[in-house]
Structure 1
Amino acid sequence: MSSMAAAQQPASTLDQRVTDIVSVLLAREAPERVFAPPFLIAVPPAQLADLVGRLEAANGALRSAEGLVPVTPTSGRFTLRFEKATAVASFSIEPRAPGRVTGLRIGSAVPLADDARTIAADFAALPGRSGFALVRLGQASPIAAAHADSQFAIGSVFKLWVLDALAEDVAAGRHRWDEVVRLGPRSLPSGVTQDWPADAPVTVETLATLMISMSDNTATDVLIGLVGRERVAARVRATGHSDPARMLPLLTTAESFALKLSPSSTREAYARADEAGQARILAGLDTEKILADADLTALDGAPTAIETIEWFASPADVARVVDGLRQSRDPRVLAILGVAPTMARDLRERFAYVGYKGGSEVGVISLAWLMRRKSGGWMAVTASWNDPAAAVDPQRFAGLAERLLRLAASD
C-alpha cells in the first residue's frame, strides 16, 4: 500500500473521531465512549471539562470542528472554531477497533482576524514588562514589534551567544566539533550532564547540542570555559548588542545560581558594582560549595534578583544574534539550532527550517525562533516577559508567541 493510500484509508474513521471529540467537549457524549482508558487516567473528564471551560471563557462558545488533515493512519489534526477564535488540535487513535482516542492536544487559541495590533495589545496586558519582535531578516523594519529595543532578562536564551562564539572558534580552527573535552564542575539543572560521571569525555558538538536542545547548564559552562568568557563577551559586542554592559561580565549558569543563593548583601553588592567590580565578586565566589550546601527550593518561590543577576538583551538584540547564526557557513550550527524546534507541527510544515532556543526562571521567560520560509526568506520571532513580583505563566506566553509565529507563517 502506498503512503498516500495509507493516509487516505483511515480518513472516515479519523473524521468520525473528530465528531466524537467535539461531542465530548460539548458535553453531549460521555468521555469514556470516545477516549481510551490511559488517556482518561492522564486527563480525567473533570480536567477536560475545565479546559473547555477556560477556552470558552476566553474565546466564546465552541461552535464546530473543521479541516481534518490526516497525518498518519492513526493521527491527524483539525481546527476547533470558537465564537471569537480558532485553535488547532492534534489527536491520535488506537490502531485497532474500536479506535478510541489515545491523545489530544489543543493548541493556543488564535483570535479571528488576528493581527499585529491585537497581538501587541495582549502582550501589553501581561503583568510586569514584555516585548517582542517579528523580523524579516535582512530588512530594516520589523513586521511587528513592541518594546523591541528594551532590555529584558532572557534566561537561557543567552546560550545563543555561546553558540555564536563557539561557531566562530570552530571556523577559525581554534576548536573542532569532534574535539573531545572533559566535563568540569557541575551546575544545576536543566540538563543531564550534571548527573554524568565526573570528568566524562564529551565532544564539543555533543555539548553544544545539549546546550541548545535541552538547555543543559553544565554543558554550557564547559563551553564557556573552553571558548573563554572574554571571547563570548567579544561576540556579544560584535553581534550588535545594544547594551552589552547589562550582559557583562558574562555569568556562567553556576555563578548565576550561586549569586542568587548567596546572602542578600552579596546580591546587593553585585547589583551596585560596575563590570570590574562584578568580576571581582565572581572571582571570590566559592561556587561549588554554595551549590553543594544550598537549599535549592529557595529558587522555586518568588522571583530572585531577576533585574540584576541575569543575562539581559532586547528582542532586537536576540534577533541580531540568530541572524548571525543563520549566516554561518557551517551547516552544523543550523542543525544544532534545529534539533528541538518547539513549534506546533502544522506550523513547522509551513517552513523549510525552524530553529529555537528558550529560557526561563521564576519571573522570567524568553523565546526565540529562526525560520526559513519555503520561498527562501528568513524570519525571526523573539519575545520576553519579566515580572519581578510573581511567576509568569508559560502557557499564556507560549500562546502569544504562537500567534506571532502564525503571523510570520501567513506574511
Structure 2
Amino acid sequence: MRSIPTHTLVLLIVATVIAGCRNDTNEDASTTSSSAATTAPTTSPAVVDLTALAPRAGYGIYDAGDGRCNLLAGHGLTSPVPVASVFKLWILDAVARSIDSGDIGWDTPVAIRNTLRSDPSGEVYGYPTGQEVTVSRLAELMISISDNTATDHLIDLSGRDAIGDVIRELAPDGAERTLPLLSTADMARLKFVHPNLGREYAALDPDARSQFVSTLPERGPFPWPDDPAAVNRLDLTTPRYVDEIEWFASGADICRTMVPLEGILSANPGLPPAQARAWTTTWFKGGSEPGVVTLAYRLATDDLDRVVVIALSDPDAPLTQQAEGQQIIEMILSAAQD
C-alpha cells in the first residue's frame, strides 16, 4: 500500500457529531469482498445492538498495522454503501499524489471561479471571483468543514480522471457505482435542485452519465447566484436517490483509503474525551446528507492500529438523532481496543 509522505499532509480533520435512528432489519455477519482484506467473524454485542441505528447499518473494525485491512469484526459493510462526504478523502489523496509528483505544491494558488461554485454553504463560496487560495487552505476547508466549493476547485485542479484512478485503486468495491465521479455541485443539482434531472441521470449507463454530467451546469443552473434566498425554498431534508446517485464504498474500501493518510493531524478526534485518551493517534472523517451517515476513524497506539467504519442509510426517511445511537457508536469504538 502506497503511503503519502507525512510531511505533505498538514490538514485538519474535524469530527461530525451524529447519532442513529430506528432499524427494522438485521444482517448476518459477512466477509470482506476485497482481496486486500481478510475476515474474522465476530459475536460482539455490537452486532446485535447495531440494529438500533438505522434501517441499513453496518460497521467494520480493521487491523491496519501491516498496511493492509484485516477485518477483525464486522457486519453489513461487505457491499458498497453510500458514504457522502467521506469521498473527499479520495480528493485529498489525489491532491497529495500531485504534490508528491511535483506537479503542484501546498502553496500553489488557485483562483476562485464562478463555474466551480457549489451550494452556498462553507467559506469558499463567498470568496470573490479571481481571489487566489492556496491548495493547502482549500484542502483544509474541504476536510475540516466539508466545504463543497473548496472541494470542487480541488476536483478541477486534480482532474476527474486522476481521482478516478485513486478510487479504482483504493475503493475498487464501490468504484463501478461511484464513477463517473460527481462533484458536489453535480450532486446538489441532481438530488435537490433539479431532481427531475436526477431521475434522468439514474437511468443512464456510465458512458451516457459522463456526457450528461458535462451538460449539467447549462441544463440545471443553480438559482442562488441571482436569488440567495432560493436555497431556503429547497427540500434539503428528504433523502433522494440514495442508492442511485451517490459516492459508494465498502468498509474495506474506506479502510484502504484511510491507511495511506498517515500524516493527517486531527483537531477533533470524533471521540468522547475518555475514549480519545485510550489512543495515541486519532483521525476522523465523517459524511452526512439526508438519509446517509458515514463515520471513518483511524485509531492507533504503540501496539494497535485500527480503522473503524460505521455506515448508516435510509433511502426513505431522514436519519433522526437519538442518544441511543451515540451509545452504540461508542461501544463499537471501544471494541476496537480489543
* TM-score category of the 2 structures, normalised to the smaller one: 0.7 to 0.9
Task: Note the C-alpha offset of 1:238.
Answer: 1.3
CA contact (8 A) 1:224 1:252 kept: yes
Q: How does 1:1-400 map to 2 (within 5 A)?
A: 117-137=44-64, 138=66, 141-184=70-113, 185-286=116-217, 289-292=221-224, 295-326=231-262, 331=263, 334-335=264-265, 338-373=266-301, 375-395=302-322, 396-400=324-328
Partner of residue 80, structure 1: none
Aligned with 1:360: secondary structure? strand
- Partner secondary structure for residue 240 of structure 2: coil
Q: Residue 69 of structure 2 contacts residue 255 of structure 2 at CA under 8 Å; is this kept in 1? A: no
SS at match of 1:302: coil
1:257 and 1:291 in contact (8 A); partners too: no
Query: Are the equivalent residues in 1 in contact too, given 2:69–2:252 (CA < 8 A)?
Result: no
Q: Contact between 2:78 and 2:251, CA under 8 Å: does it hold in 1?
A: yes
Which amino acid is the alignment partner of residue 176 of structure 1?
Answer: G
Which stretch has the larger CA shift, 203-212 or 398-407?
Answer: 398-407
TM-superposed CA distance for 1:394, in Å, is: 4.3
The question of whether the paired residues in 2 share the 8 Å contact of 1:133 and 1:315 is answered with yes
Question: Is the contact between residue 188 and residue 194 of structure 1 (CA under 8 Å) also seen in structure 2?
Answer: yes
Residues 382 and 390 from structure 1, CA distance in 2 versus in 1: closer, same or farther, beyond 3 angstroms? same
The structure with the greater share of residues assigned to helix is 1
Structure with greater contact order relative to length (CA < 8 Å, sep ≥ 6):
2
Q: Distance in 2 between matches of 1:277 and 1:393?
A: 36
Task: Give the AA of the match of 1:343.
Answer: L
Q: Using the alignment, how far apart are the partners of 1:300 and 1:140 within structure 2?
A: 35
Cα 1:362–1:254 change in 2 (3 A) is same
Rate the CA distance shift 1:236–1:376 in 2: closer, same or farther, 3 A: same
1:240-296 per-residue CA deviation (whole Å, 9 max, x = no partner) reads 421311111111101100111354442222111111111111111126823436555
TM-score, structure 2 normalization: 0.79
Identity of aligned residues (%): 33
In 2, Cα distance between equivalents of 1:226 and 1:275: 23
Structure 1: which 5+ runs fail to align? 1-114
> Residue 198 and residue 387 in structure 1: after superposition, are their counterparts in 2 closer, same or farther (change >3 A)?
same
In the alignment, is the contact (CA less than 8 A) between 2:99 and 2:105 conserved in 1?
yes
Tell me the SS of whatever aligns to 1:358: strand
Question: What's the offset of the Cα at 1:117?
Answer: 2.5
Distance verdict in 2 for CA 1:205–1:225, change over 3 Å: same
* Matched residue SS, 2:293: strand
Counterpart CA distance in 2 for 1:295 and 1:348 is 37
Kindly indicate whether the alpha-carbon contact (under 8 Å) linking 1:302 and 1:362 is maintained by their aligned counterparts in 2. yes
Q: Aligned pair in 2 of structure 1 residues 253, 264: CA closer, same or farther (>3 Å)? A: closer
Query: What secondary structure, in the 3-state scheme, does the structure 2 residue paired with 1:369 have?
Result: strand
Seen in structure 2, the aligned counterparts of structure 1 residues 397 and 166 have a Cα distance that, compared at 3 Å, is: farther
Which residue of structure 2 lines up, in the alignment, with residue 404 of structure 1? 332
- Aligned mates of 1:174, 1:255 — CA distance in 2: 26
Which stretches in structure 2 are left out of the alignment for 5+ residues?
A: 1-41
1:376, CA displacement in angstroms? Answer: 4.4
Could you say which residue in structure 2 is the equivalent of 1:24? Answer: none
